[in-house]
Amino acid sequence: MILAQFLKSLEHNCSKKPESLWPLRYYLGKNSPDNQSPPHFKDAYAKVLAYSIFMAEQEKKLSLLLDSINASHLLFKGLDIESRFYPGPGTRPQSDIDLLVDPAAMPQIHTLLVENGFAFNWSGNYHHVYKKDSISFEIHTAFCSYKYLLYFDLLNLNYLDLFQTKSLSPELYLLCCAIQFYDENASRPIPLVDMYQIISSGIDLHAWTELVKNRSAGFPVYFAHFWMEEHLGYSPWTEELLAPLGWDNAKKNIAAMVVKTQNIKEKDFWTLFRMADNKPMKLLRTFFPPKEVYAGHVGAGRFPLLAHILKTARRLL
């Protein structure tokens, strides 16, 4: 399925935020002899283009600021995905600026940002959010939450290698997009377009195999794959890309059934747990994670680990 057909099918079959697809649909059709793009496509493209240019300028300023203290960082997600995998600026909507940083440098980075007028908003277990000039800046210390790093066996990825290359590989981005689509409860079409674009740009099968082998990372991939097959009748995930995941039919059936159910996230933990390897260790680390996972959460009080244990237990009951 070509991209234009994929976008049209996605807009008709994904009820949430179809307007996020309009800029790319306009860009693809504007040079077509039979271009009949409606005016709101053009308006959406112009708005996203102007905002993307503005955000790229702000990202450069932030990057220079972090360079001033030699803080390892790289552009992550939206702007980077657009520049590398989309046909031009303004074709992928951006809501914030995302940077991935060395976790060890986060205290120093926080001080630097606050001293330079960035208002600290909130933090989770892997990202910290700041506001300045009406823009939200998300500073990530990992590319996804601890829960997924743990259950998908991604804790041992070497972040230092990423900072040396200054970018995520297409293969790692592809996995990140699948995780994001599942984490957001299949609520946005953009991660699906990201996957389509990344796969179309070319995936190194050896690098992909090395990334996913001996990991429990198959679930978000198969979730995205089955969702697209169920709702669009098409998936860009080829058998060549799925085979290295090493999934048997029993696990595939679980993923397919999750796609068909409602309230996906309510079943989240138990679904992940059923398909995980080394279940006792992962259950233990769910309740007793590293300190940075639970420290500093809103409402944690004087005993953040106890608050985390009680909160986790309530979710599982």
Statement to judge: residues 52 and 103 lie in one domain: yes
User: Domain ends where: 141, 164, 191?
Assistant: 141
168 assigned to some structural domain: yes
Three-state DSSP class for residue 103 = helix
CA–CA gap between residue 263 and residue 191 (Å, rounded): 19
Statement to judge: residues 162 and 264 lie in one domain: yes
> Which residue range is the domain that position 192 belongs to?
149-292
300 assigned to some structural domain: no
The CB density around residue 227, as the number of other CB atoms within 10 Å, is 22
CA–CA gap between residue 176 and residue 85 (Å, rounded): 14
Q: Which of 45-54, 126-135, 219-228 has the lowest mean pLDDT?
A: 126-135
Two structure tokens written together for 88: 């031009």
User: Domain ends where: 110, 141, 172?
Assistant: 141
Statement to judge: residues 205 and 163 lie in one domain: yes
181 assigned to some structural domain: yes
Q: Which of 99-108, 121-130, 186-195, 220-229 has the lowest mean pLDDT?
A: 121-130
Q: 311: which residues sit within 8 A by CB, 6+ positions away?
A: none
Question: Averaged over 254-262, what is the pLDDT?
Answer: 82
Residue 105, pLDDT above cutoff 80: yes
Statement to judge: residues 109 and 188 lie in one domain: no
Statement to judge: residues 135 and 1 lie in one domain: yes
* pLDDT at residue 34, rounded to an integer: 67
Residue 315, pLDDT above cutoff 90: no
CA–CA gap between residue 280 and residue 72 (Å, rounded): 35
Statement to judge: residues 223 and 165 lie in one domain: yes
The CATH code of the domain that includes 9 is 3.30.460
286 assigned to some structural domain: yes
Residue 307, pLDDT above cutoff 90: no
Q: How confident is the model at residue 244 (pLDDT cuts 50, 70, 90)?
A: very high
Statement to judge: residues 134 and 247 lie in one domain: no
pLDDT tens, position by position, 149-170: 998 988 888 777 788 778 889 9
Q: 15: which residues sit within 8 A by CB, 6+ positions away?
A: none
Statement to judge: residues 89 and 156 lie in one domain: no
Statement to judge: residues 44 and 15 lie in one domain: yes
Statement to judge: residues 16 and 135 lie in one domain: yes
Question: Averaged over 283-294, what is the pLDDT?
Answer: 83
**Domain tally, the chain:** 2
* pLDDT at residue 245, rounded to an integer: 93
CA–CA gap between residue 292 and residue 283 (Å, rounded): 18
> Rounded to 10 degrees, what is the CA torsion of 7, 13, 18, 23?
10
pLDDT tens, position by position, 126-141: 889 999 988 899 999 8
* pLDDT at residue 258, rounded to an integer: 85
Query: Which of the listed ranges 13-27, 140-154, 223-237, 245-259 does the model predict with the highest average pLDDT?
Result: 223-237
Q: How confident is the model at residue 232 (pLDDT cuts 50, 70, 90)?
A: very high
47 assigned to some structural domain: yes
313 assigned to some structural domain: no
Residue 295, pLDDT above cutoff 80: no
Statement to judge: residues 100 and 25 lie in one domain: yes
Residue 31, pLDDT above cutoff 90: no
Prediction pTM value: 0.90
pLDDT tens, position by position, 169-208: 999 999 999 999 998 888 889 999 999 999 999 999 999 9
Residue 17, pLDDT above cutoff 70: yes
307 assigned to some structural domain: no
Statement to judge: residues 4 and 136 lie in one domain: yes
188 assigned to some structural domain: yes
Nearest to 94 by CA among 86, 104, 105, 106: 86
User: Domain ends where: 111, 141, 171?
Assistant: 141
Cα angle 201, 207, 212; round to 5: 110
